[in-house]
Amino acid sequence: MIRTRYAPSPTGYMHIGNLRSALFAYLIAKHANGAFILRIEDTDQNSYELGAEEFIYKVLDVFNFKCDESPKNPGEYGPYVQSERLNLYKKYAEYLVKEGYAYYCFCDENDLNNKRMKFLEEKKSYIYPGTCRNISLEEAKKRIKDGEKYVIRQKMPREGTTSYHDLVYGDIKIENKYLEDNILLKSDGYPTYNFANVIDDALMNITHVTRGNEYLSSTPKYLLLYDALRFERPKFIHFPLVVKKDGTKISKRNKDDNLIDLLNNGFLPEAILNYVALIGWSPKETHEFFTLEELIKEFDVSRIHKNPGSYDINKLKWFNAHYIMEMTDEEYLKFVRPFLEKFYDLTNKSEEWIKNLLLLYKNYISFGQEITIVTNMFFKQRIELNKDCIDFLQSDESIQNTINVFKEEIFGVKEWSKENINIVVNNVKSKTSVDGKLLYMPIRIIISGFMKGPDLIDTIYLIGKETIIERLGN
C-alpha cells in the first residue's frame, strides 16, 4: 500500500504553499487507494507558535482531507508528534555512532555560527570541516561524562557519489565530498529535521516521500542514513516551488498567502483547493474546475511540473467568484450576510432590502469580505468622485444636460418603486436624445461614485430617494 505523509511544523500559520504540499501528498495516496498520514514536526521548540498546531487540524478538516493516521487518529506507528518520540531519535543516533556512521562533536556553536556568517559575508559556502570526526569513542564518552556540551553529527563519506531516482526530476547524483557532516541530534536532545524525518518516515513505513524541490540536493544525506540504518529506501517525489507572480517567496505573514486570512476573508475552501491543485500540476484535459473527488481520480505524478508554480491572488479571486456564482441564492445569502452584518449597522434595514442588496452583487464579488467594499455607497450619505469619474463627466458637452434632466425627473417621483425609476431613466433618454454610455454612466457616477456596477435601476432603488436627492444636491 502507498503511504504518504504531510509533516508540518507548527511554527506559523499555514500558507498556500503548505496547502499545496498537503494536497499533493493526499492525492498521491488516495489516487492509489493508499493511506495519508499527518505527523507534527515540533522539534523546533524556539519557533513554536501557539495555536498553529490546532490550525493545521482545522485546515485539513475544512478542506476535507481524511487522515488515515494522525495525532488525533493514531494507528500502529505512533506517536505522531515528534516531541513524543525523542527516545527513538536518541536510540538511533547512538547506534549510528557505535557503527561509525556518526560521531560526537564538541565544537562551540557560537564559534561555528560566526565562521558561517563570515563565509556568507564573503559570498562563500561554509561546510563544517569535521573537526571532531577523529576523536575516539572512548575520549568522546569521557568528555561527555565530564559534562561537556555536545551534538551528534553524521559522518559523510569523502569519496564517491550518492544517487537516486526522483519521480518528477529523474536521476539525481551528488558527489559525496559536497555533503556536510550534518547535526543529527542537538545539544538539547532534540533531533534536527534532517534526522527525525528519516527515522519517522522509515518507522511509519512511508513509501513515497513528498517535499519541495529545495531538498533535491540534500536527499543523498538522507539516503546515506537509510542505508546506514538498514532501512528500505522510499520513493521520492519533489514538488516545484510555489512562488508569487513576481517571483518572490510565499509568506505566512502575507494576508494574500496566509490560509487563515484567506478563509476569514471569504475565500471558499473548494475554490482555494481547486486553484492550488493547478499550481505546478496540469490535468490531461484543459478542464479547470475540479472537486476533490475528481482531483483524486485525475491526479498523475507524471504531470507534476519541474518549474516553479506561480501563485496569483487575482487568479484565485477568479476561481472563487466562479464558485460564488455557482451557489444557490440561499447558500449565497447564508455565506455573505455575516460579512455585511459585521461591518455595517443593519438595524434600520428591512430583511427585503438586505436580501435584495446582497443578491444584487452575487455576480460581482470574488470573495466574501468584498461585499463590504462594493456596498459602501449604500451606507453613507456623501460620496467622493475619483479622477476617472470627474474626467468622464467633463468628457462630453451632453453629460451635464443628462444630469440636469435626471435631477428634474427624480425630484418628481411620488412613489419610490423600480417601475417609476425605470420611467425616470426612459424620460431622460427621450428628453436628451442620448443612450448607452452617455446616458447610464453619468447617472451611475453621480448617484454611486462608480463608473460600473450591477443593474442601475436596482442600484438607485436600494440607495433610496432621500440619499439620491442629497447626493444630487452635493
Active site residues: 252
Those residues whose C-beta lies under 8 Å from the C-beta of residue 185, and which sit 6 or more positions away, are: 89, 90, 93, 151, 152, 191, 192, 195
d(CA 11, CA 46): 9
Nearest to 371 by CA among 381, 363, 384, 361: 361
CB 289 within 8 A of CB 326: no
Of the candidates 410, 400, 414, 411, the residue with the CA atom closest to the CA atom of residue 445: 400
Q: How crowded is residue 215: how many other Cβ atoms within 10 Å of its Cβ?
A: 17
Q: How many CB atoms lie within 10 A of CB 63?
A: 19
Question: In 3D, which of 394, 383, 343 has the Cα closest to residue 468?
Answer: 383
Q: Provide the 10 A C-beta neighbour count for residue 1.
A: 10
Q: Judging by DSSP bridges, how do beta strands 3-6 and 35-38 pair with one another?
A: parallel
Q: Which residue, 209, 196, 200, is CA-closest to 236?
A: 209
Residue indicated by cell numbers 507548527: 10
Q: Which three cell numbers stand for residue 162?
A: 550518492
The two beta strands, 170-175 and 183-185, are unpaired
Q: Is the peptide bond before 79 cis (omega within 30 degrees of 0)?
A: yes
* Count of C-beta atoms within a 10 Å radius of residue 291: 12
Give every strand in the sheet of 102-105, ordered side by side.
Answer: 102-105, 151-154, 183-185
